[in-house]
Structure 1
Amino acid sequence: MAGVLASVDQRTQLVGENRLELLLFHLHSRHFFALNVFKVKEVVKLPHMNKMPNAHPKVCGVTTIRGESIPVIDLRQAICMPPCEKDADSNLVITEYNRTVQAFLVGKVDQIINTAWTEIMPTPKSVGRNHYLTALTKIKRDGVEHIVEIIDVEKVLAEIVEYNIEIPEDILDKSIIGELEGRKILHADDSPTARRQVADTLAQLGVEIIPATDGYEALKLLQHWADEGIDVEKELLAVITDAEMPVMDGYRLTYEIRNDARLKNLYIILNTSLSGSFNHAMVEKVGCNAFLSKFQPDLLVNEIQNRLRDVLDKE
């Protein structure tokens, strides 16, 4: 399975095409779950694991892959199911999120599917807030339609490694910090955890965050404002967008903004948990202004301050 994962060059071919690849697997049940292949480094059969003293209850051990010690998270337990069985069907999905490498203990790995973001459905609001999904999709097997549940890894990791939104005093530019009060930023991300991280960080500076749950919702909001005669480029300090979202991804959102004369000069920050080398290639291709890997409050604040300096210079 590791050899099936696409290279950086192959993955960049999907940029702007509003498509994604999903790794399908089971959690010792008949249900299908999925992770975005962009975030998967490799899949291996369950190797030897060592227990970690004083580890989080959802971390079931640590293993060594090619000389690197990697913590292993029991994905069943992480999404509030009984612990995962360790048997012949068990696998580790090695991923890279937020500049860290971790493994998820899963059951049988099924296959990789290539699909369109338009085939990805937001999680129904009726399921409430205490779920671990960012979206759903469907597949057909032997003429039977199955629901595939796409895991919200941002939430899983935030519950294991608590994120810190404290802004280091030494990065604040006292000469302009007061100018951030009341500035507006549109933030598109399908993960409620990711939206909360950005909003809680920038709220400390008086910045108003306008949330959107996917690129399509963000685009429609921008177009509505433009239709109402609002100068969107003056109204918003920036647009922050995740890369991978249902309905419309962040790359397609950027493409649509750059091709609308009323919006084309908006300052767009790609904020995602994907690997740096991959995203820098994507930023260059689709025309974002900046790239930030999640979740780094100090770099987020620095980027917003830099953007504000440019705006103040032009006012």
Structure 2
Amino acid sequence: MSSKAKQTQKLLLFSLSGSRLFGIGTLKIREILPFKPLIKMPHSHYAVIGTMNFRGSAVPVIDMAAAVGYPPLTAEERKTASIIITDVQRQETGFLVRDVQKIIETDWKKVKSPPSALGDKAFITGLLNMEGELIQLLDVELLLANVYPDSLDTRDVVLTDVQSEALKALNILLVDDSRVARKQLCDVLDAKDISYQVTTNGDEAQQILLNSNERGKPIDILVSDIEMPGLDGYELAFNVRDNGTLKQPYIILHTSLNSEMSLSYANQVGANEALTKFDADELLHAMLRGARHSEQ
């Protein structure tokens, strides 16, 4: 490959409570709207404050402050609040935020992983220092899973004995910075008794690939998220393809974004496949195509 992969990320910055800034990637955003009256939803999660009509569809609206543990916005605060319509994991959702600030552009390498002291329930997927101000990138997948816990259930995928054995014979590496996404990936393989390694970031994944190769047990299938702090999925795929000493794995990149641009770029940096996460059937059948590829 002739040029190094580099993918900048545009972030929308906003506040939920006080002056602390949060951010989400703009590729996840469909539209930003001023607050409008909503239709109440009975028996819904406490953070779901109603539904709104968006381009002919009923879209649930979540008070993001309430969802992450802050006091919900008051009726007075809602008058000047905004609703961010997102498209994540094939689902449109509105998030009520107190104040939309601005859009910035940054390199994923500048985004740091959150400290482990924050615990598994923190809704933070990365931290960015911008001119001395700390911006917390929200883990939208974890937030949605907390509001809609049934979304974590993965439907059973039927595999033949031959297909299951083909996957069990492979060395599989999963990479994702989102705890929810890792659980979904792992649950699918655990249900089929398929072994794998898993890590939370691209740098560790790259080292695992190198170490496995040196031990004579190279990784056959690499399944990686695209949007990760530090070494993202694009650059990880590029580095793997650019390393002439590695036995080349079948690379499956996945993203929570319904973005043709993201998937097209994944192919450009050397991925064999690019998927919009999460669909258990699509993932396992992509792995089966990788199994067939490794036999060639």
Tell me the TM-score normalized by structure 1. 0.86
Q: Look up the SS of the partner of 1:183 in the other structure.
A: coil
- 5+ long unaligned stretches in structure 2: none
State the alpha-carbon separation in 2 of the partners of residues 91 and 252 from structure 1. 34
Q: For 1:116, which of 103, 107, 114 is the aligned residue?
A: 107
The answer (yes or no) to whether the contact 1:183–1:206 under 8 Å persists in 2 is: no
- 5+ long unaligned stretches in structure 1: 1-14
The aligned amino acid for 1:203 is: D
State the alpha-carbon separation in 2 of the partners of residues 294 and 139 from structure 1. 30
The aligned amino acid for 2:197 is: I
The answer (yes or no) to whether the contact 1:62–1:69 under 8 Å persists in 2 is: yes
Aligned to 2:180: 193
Any idea what the Cα deviations from partners look like across 1:44-65, whole Å, max 9, x if unmatched? Answer: 1112211112222221110112
Greater shift, 68-77 or 302-311, is seen at 302-311
Q: For 1:53, which of 42, 48, 66 is the aligned residue?
A: 42
Q: Look up the SS of the partner of 1:123 in the other structure.
A: coil
**Shift, 1:310, TM fit:** 3.4
The answer (yes or no) to whether the contact 1:98–1:294 under 8 Å persists in 2 is: yes
Task: Report percent identity of matched pairs.
Answer: 30
State the alpha-carbon separation in 1 of the partners of residues 15 and 104 from structure 2. 14
Aligned to 2:54: 65
The answer (yes or no) to whether the contact 1:92–1:104 under 8 Å persists in 2 is: yes
**Shift, 1:130, TM fit:** 1.8
Residue 168 to residue 284, structure 1, CA distance change in 2 (3 Å) = closer
Any idea what the Cα deviations from partners look like across 1:186-231, whole Å, max 9, x if unmatched? Answer: 11111111111101111122222312212122112222333x3535
Aligned residue pairs total: 289
Greater shift, 300-309 or 192-201, is seen at 300-309
1:222 aligns with 2:205: no
Q: For 2:14, which of 20, 25, 29 is the aligned residue?
A: 25
State the alpha-carbon separation in 2 of the partners of residues 55 and 209 from structure 1. 37
State the alpha-carbon separation in 2 of the partners of residues 173 and 308 from structure 1. 14
Greater shift, 191-200 or 52-61, is seen at 52-61
Aligned to 2:63: 74
The aligned amino acid for 1:108 is: D
The answer (yes or no) to whether the contact 1:72–1:104 under 8 Å persists in 2 is: yes
Q: Look up the SS of the partner of 2:146 in the other structure.
A: helix
Aligned to 1:83: 72
State the alpha-carbon separation in 1 of the partners of residues 202 and 73 from structure 2. 34
The aligned amino acid for 1:152 is: D
Tell me the TM-score normalized by structure 2. 0.91
Q: For 1:262, which of 245, 264, 274 is the aligned residue?
A: 245
Aligned to 1:294: 277
Any idea what the Cα deviations from partners look like across 1:14-53, whole Å, max 9, x if unmatched? Answer: x931421111000032110010111111211112211112
Q: Look up the SS of the partner of 1:111 in the other structure.
A: strand
Q: Look up the SS of the partner of 1:208 in the other structure.
A: coil
